[in-house]
Amino acid sequence: MLGYYCNHKDYTTFVLSELNRLAETRPDQVNEYKSAVMKMLVLDLDPMLQVIAPLYASTGRPAEMQMEIFRSFVLMKHMRATLDGWVDKLSQNPVLRIIAGFTPDNMPKTSSYYDFINRIVPLKELPEVRPVTKKPKEMLKKGEKLAPKNPGIVAKLAKQVITNEERFRKRLARRLERFLQRIFARVAVDASVKMGLIPESVDVSGDGACIETGASSYGKKVCKCHESGIHKCTCDRRFSDPSANWGWDSHNERYFYGYTGYFISAYNRDLKIDLPLYPGLFRQTVTTPFPQSSRCPSFASLTQLCVSTPSSQTAPATITLHTTFCIIGTLMPLSR
C-alpha cells in the first residue's frame, strides 16, 4: 500500500527552514546548489499521487516516501550522478539530502529506488544469459541514417490507425512507460500550461535521440573457462539489461549501446528553447551488416502522436499535450 509522503507545501517549508538553518554555518555550500533548490521548489509532485496510487495494494506493508524517491531521481539527474553511490552521496551531503526532502534518520536505501523503478516501469526483466553482441566495426557515412528494418511499416501503421483506431490504441495502452508518461503529464504539462510556457494549441516537432544504458555491453562471464586458462572464450554471458543493444548515432558518428528515444517537442519563441512534450523509448535490434533502429523516425513519430493524442470521442477541441518539464533523465530503466 502507498504510505506517507510529504505534500509540496510541507516540503517547501521543510527545505527553506532547513537550508536557512544550514546557511548560518555553511553559506557557500548552500549557495553552490542554488539552481537545484530552485528546480525542486518549482517541481510540485502532488498531482503525481493520482497516477501512482492505483499501482499499490490497499493492504500490506506501506511503501514510504515514494514521491521523495521520484524527486531524488530528478535531483540525481540534475547533478549528473548515477544511482550507484547516490544514496551514500545524499548521506554525506546535507544540502542535497535536504533538497531531496530527506532527514538523516529517514533516508531510503538503494533497494527502495529499484523497487520504485519496478513499480513505475514494470519491465519484469531478469538478467539474461546469451551470446555477446559485438560492436559493429563498419561505419556509416557522415550524417547517414539507418534504413528502417521493415520497409513500408509506416504505411501499414497509418492504415491501422485510420481503419481501426480503437484496436490500435488498445495495443499502445500496454506500453511499459505509460505510467511514467502519465506522471510527466500530470506533474509537468498542467503546471507548464498554467505558467504560460506551453499554450494549449501548439505546433509540434519530433526527433530521435540515442540513449545509452548504464549496463555493460560485454556482460559478465558465467563460465569457468578462465580456470582452465582460457581468457578469451566465446561462451554466453549474463547481461543485466537484456533489452539494450547496439545502435548508430548519426549525429556523433559512432555506435552506442542502449535504446532509441523519440521525443515530441514544441518551441517557445519567447524563451527560445525547445520544450519536450512527450517521451518515448524504443529498443534496438541488430542485423547484418549494420544495427537497425527498432523504430525508424517516421514510425516512432506516428506512434508517439497516436499515444499522446486523446481519442476523438472524448477529447476536447483543443488538445493539451504532455510535457516532460525537462526531466527526461528520469527514464529510470536506463540506470539498471
Dump pLDDT digits (tens) for 97-130.
999 999 998 899 999 998 898 888 876 667 889 9
Within this chain, do residues 88 and 193 fall inside the same structural domain, yes or no? no
Q: Which of 86, 105, 120 is the last residue of a domain?
A: 120
User: C-alpha cell of 14?
Assistant: 521543510
Distance CA 119, CA 43 (A): 21
Confidence of residue 172 (pLDDT cuts 50, 70, 90): confident
- Please say if the pLDDT value at position 262 is more than 50: yes
User: How much is the average pLDDT of 192-215?
Assistant: 81
Task: Indicate the pLDDT class of residue 282, thresholds 50, 70 and 90.
Answer: low
Can you give the pLDDT at residue 124?
61
In a domain, 140, yes or no: no
Same domain for 202 and 291?
yes
- pLDDT at residue 266 above 90? no
User: Is 67 within a domain?
Assistant: yes
pLDDT of residue 281: 67
Rounded to 5°, angle at Cα 179 from 176 and 180: 90
How many domains in the chain? 2
Q: Report if residue 205 sits inside a domain.
A: yes
Q: Are residues 105 and 225 in the same domain?
A: no
Position 268 scores a pLDDT of: 83
Whether 127 maps to a domain, the answer reads no
Q: What is the 3-state secondary structure (H, E, C) of the chain?
A: CECCCCCHHHHHHHHHHHHHHHHCCCHHHHHHCHHHHHHHHHCCCHHHHHHHHHHCCCCCCCECCHHHHHHHHHHHHHCCCCCCCHHHHHHHCHHHHHHHCCECCECCCHHHHHHHHHHHCCCCCCCEEECCCCCCCCCCCCCCCCCCCCCCHHHHHHHHHHHCHHHHHHHHCCCCCHHHHHHHHHHHHHHHHHCCCCCCCCCEEEEEEEEECCCCCCCEECCCHHHHCCCCCCCCEEECCCCCEEEEECCCCEEEEEEEEEEEEEEECCCCEEEEEEEEEEEEEECCCCEEECCCHHHHHHHHHHHHCCCCCCCCCCCCCCCCCCCHHHCHHHHC
Whether residues 83 and 152 fall in one domain? no
| Averaged pLDDT score across all residues of the chain | 78
Closest CA to 120 of 44, 49, 185, 52: 52
Q: How confident is the model at residue 212 (pLDDT cuts 50, 70, 90)?
A: confident
Q: Which residue type, as a one-letter code, is found at position 247?
A: G
Burial class for 79, CB neighbours closer than 10 Å (0-12, 13-18, 19+): middle
Q: What is the pLDDT of residue 100?
A: 95
Of the candidates 124, 117, 3, 116, the one whose C-alpha atom is nearest the C-alpha of residue 60 is: 3
Residues 205 and 170 in one domain: yes
Q: Are residues 38 and 164 in the same domain?
A: no
Do 290 and 186 share a domain, yes or no? yes
Query: What does the pLDDT read at residue 324?
Result: 31
CB 183 within 8 A of CB 52: yes
User: How high is the pLDDT of residue 191?
Assistant: 82
- Residue 37: is its pLDDT beyond 90? yes
Q: Are 146 and 140 in contact (CB under 8 A)?
A: yes
In a domain, 135, yes or no: no
Distance CA 17, CA 23 (A): 10
pLDDT at 167: 80
22 part of a folded domain: yes
The answer as to whether 115 is a domain residue is yes
Q: Are both 169 and 106 inside the same structural domain?
A: no
Structural domain boundaries enclosing 51: 8-120
Same domain, yes or no: 100 and 172: no
- Strand partners for 247: 256
* Confidence label for 148 from pLDDT (cuts 50, 70 and 90): low
Distance (Å, whole) CA 296 – CA 284:
10
Same domain, 68 and 187: no
pTM: 0.72
Last residue of a domain, one of 120, 136, 153: 120
Q: Tell me how far apart the alpha carbons of residues 138 and 146 are, in angstroms, rounded to a whole number.
A: 13
Residue 136 lies in a domain: no
Q: What values do phi and psi take at 2, rounded to 5?
A: -80, 120
- Final residue before a domain boundary, out of 120, 135, 169: 120
- Would you say residue 277 has pLDDT above 80? no
Q: How confident is the model at residue 288 (pLDDT cuts 50, 70, 90)?
A: very low
- Whole-angstrom CA distances from 185 to 31, 50, 83, 305, 308 are 31, 12, 24, 14, 10
17 and 61 assigned to the same domain: yes
pLDDT value, residue 35: 92
Residues 180 and 317 grouped into a single domain? yes
What CA dihedral angle connects 205, 321, 116 and 261, to 10 degrees? -10
